[in-house]
Structure 1
Amino acid sequence: MSETNREGKRAARERLKAERVKEEARTKRRRGLVVGGAVVGVLALAAAVGVIAANTGKSEKQAGPVVAPKGATGEDGLAIPVGDASAKSTLVIWEDFRCPACANFENAYRSTIHELTDKGLLKVEYHLATLIDGNMRGEGSHRAANAAVCAQDAGKFPEYHDVLFANQPLETEDDFASTDRLLELAGKVDGLVTPEFRSCVRDGAHDAWVAESHKAFQKGNFPGTPTVLLNGKSVFGDQKDPLTPAKLKQLVQEKAGA
């Protein structure tokens, strides 16, 4: 082989090596962008998905008397409060237990919200909607909401709320329509599964309340789920500077003078 051919092959190998290095660098940058923008992406995706959901969701289970859960607050008793009522900051959250964007929000913010409520700096008002039942068919949103309200009666709403989102099925799968599945997940919360709780879940004791909650969501003309308001202002309002867990903590601490 001539020296010229050897040099040509060597040059070709060097070019291929350089291209591989460049491609690996591009791949790492893409991964970094995905990881670094995960929380921001959660909020943007939540807003986009919610808009679609809000246009089509319906709630059908409305029979029976409206039975508000213990401790419910707000207009018509449709808010489930968590945290110190005297906290200076209020986070209002409208959620659907089948909504994947809601689960993304919860997974990103759960620990921060717990930290702030535990310190008495933040109170949260949870409102339940059943959008995905209307979009994807089924009744898992409604059944899960009723079960969560039953957990509120038992003083275990925050714990069961977190378990439901941590074990959320695929949006296309209506696993939460099964009361057996809901009771199985309730077993992950110490002391929740009692005869009273089982009866409440199986009998749909709060079905009419859940339906009223969803009607309130529709009447509010909210863009979708999750809808999240911090002290009355949507956290999705400024996509150029969206809320993050760190920013939420900063805003709440500043409001409290902490």
Structure 2
Amino acid sequence: MDLGPGRRAAPPRFVLPGVSEKNREGKRTARERLAAEREKQRSAEKRRRLLIVGAAVVCVLALAAVIGVVAANMDKDKTDTAGPVTAPSGANGDDNLVIPAGEASARSTLTVWEDFRCPACKNFESAYRPTIHELTDSGQLKVDYRLVTLIDGNMGGSGSLRAANAAACAQDAGKFTAYHDVLFDNQPVETNDDYADNGKLIELAGKVDGLDTGAFRKCVEDGAHNSWVAQSNKAFQSSGFQGTPTVLLNGKNIYQDRTMTPAKLKQMVEEANKA
């Protein structure tokens, strides 16, 4: 094309067919991938926030449930030991806190502080019970049982209290010694508060002839001697003794003697009776 003197036409531009369309398509695809990735990240963040909120709600509800159970148990324990102190039949000693076994005329007295949830008490019973029964049956020894709820205080729960109440109910029926032995023979592990279940205590009464009666069941279920048990435990706390079992022969603490054995106990009782 002639543009006049001194002027030339610009050379024509050549564009490869399809290149522009491909560039535009590539840019559009990249934008779509970026948008999809951002949407994916937003969805993941939303799910994360929902999980955090959900977990927090679950923790709050669980904590509230635990607090509710603890509060209910505390209120129940307060109710269990409220009311007048009713000693079991035949109880004697200071404030009628002793359950006696054996002949009252026996010259030697063994005082035993025990907790029905206490493993060491079970060990004592397993080792010494035959000798104690032999000495009480022959009239050489009487035993003053004093009941404690030490494990309830240390581990939580109410099994010590309820088992002691049930034992006091058995004393009302004249079946204390037999039921006392059954409770130790069937003692749950220390961390299991199985004796907090009155149904379990009534079930074990079936192992003692004539104990599972309507009167016994009512006594157990009503916690008739709970306040008496609480007073007995209070006496132990003010006694200066450190743990259970605490065993005294004629007032002397003998179970802390590492050389003590059932045979030695029998010998000590016989010698004391001769003196």
TM-score bucket (shorter structure): 0.7 to 0.9
Asked whether 1:137 is paired with 2:163, we answer no
Equivalent residue, structure 1, for 2:255: 236
Question: SS at 1:72's partner residue?
Answer: coil
In 2, the alpha carbon distance for the partners of 1:232 and 1:104 equals 22
1: CA distance, partners of 2:151 / 2:273:
36
User: What is the aligned counterpart of 2:266 among 239, 249, 255?
Assistant: 249
User: C-alpha distance in 2, partners of 1:71/1:63?
Assistant: 22
The answer to whether 1:67 aligns with 2:76 is no
The answer (yes or no) to whether the contact 2:148–2:236 under 8 Å persists in 1 is yes
Q: Any residues of structure 2 matched to 1:28-177 within 5 Å, and which?
A: 61-177=80-196
Shift of residue 84 of structure 1?
0.8
Is this contact kept in 2: 1:60–1:211, CA < 8 A? no
**Using the alignment, how far apart are the partners of 2:191 and 2:179 within structure 1?**
22
2: distance between equivalents of 1:130 and 1:105? 17
CA separation in 2, counterparts of 1:237 and 1:103? 16
The secondary structure found in structure 2 opposite 1:124 is strand
Q: Secondary structure at the match of 1:209?
A: helix
C-alpha displacement of 1:237: 4.2
User: Shift of residue 121 of structure 1?
Assistant: 0.1
Tell me the TM-score normalised to structure 1 length: 0.75
Q: Distance in 1 between matches of 2:129 and 2:241?
A: 22
Q: Which stretches in structure 2 are left out of the alignment for 5+ residues?
A: 1-76
Q: Which structure 1 segments of 5+ residues have no match?
A: 1-57
TM-score, with structure 2 as normaliser: 0.70
**AA of the residue aligned to 2:132:** I
Displacement of 1:251? 1.1
Aligned to 1:225: 244
Residue type of the partner of 2:189?
L
In the TM superposition, residue 238 of structure 1 has moved relative to its aligned partner by 3.4
Q: Is the 8 A contact 2:80 2:223 kept in 1?
A: no
How many residue pairs match? The answer is: 199
Q: Alignment partner of 1:173: what SS?
A: coil
Computing the radius of gyration over CA atoms, which structure comes out larger, 1 or 2?
A: 2
Query: RMSD value over aligned CA atoms?
Result: 1.6
User: Aligned letter for 2:274?
Assistant: G
3-state SS of paired residue (2:86): coil
The structural deviation recorded for 1:61 is: 4.1
1:201 aligns with 2:201: no
Give the direction of change, closer, same or farther, for the CA distance of 1:60–1:107 in structure 2 (3 Å limit).
Answer: farther
Cα distance change on mapping 1:223 and 1:194 into 2, 3 Å: same
Contact 1:227/1:234 (<8 A) preserved: yes
Q: How far apart are 1:134 and its partner, in Å? A: 1.2
Larger relative contact order (Cα-Cα within 8 Å, sequence gap ≥ 6):
1
Summarize deviations over 1:185-226 as a string: whole Å, max 9, x none: 010000001100000000000010000000000011111100
Q: Any idea what the Cα deviations from partners look like across 1:113-145, whole Å, max 9, x if unmatched?
A: 000000000000000000101111110000000
Amino acid at match of 1:212: Q
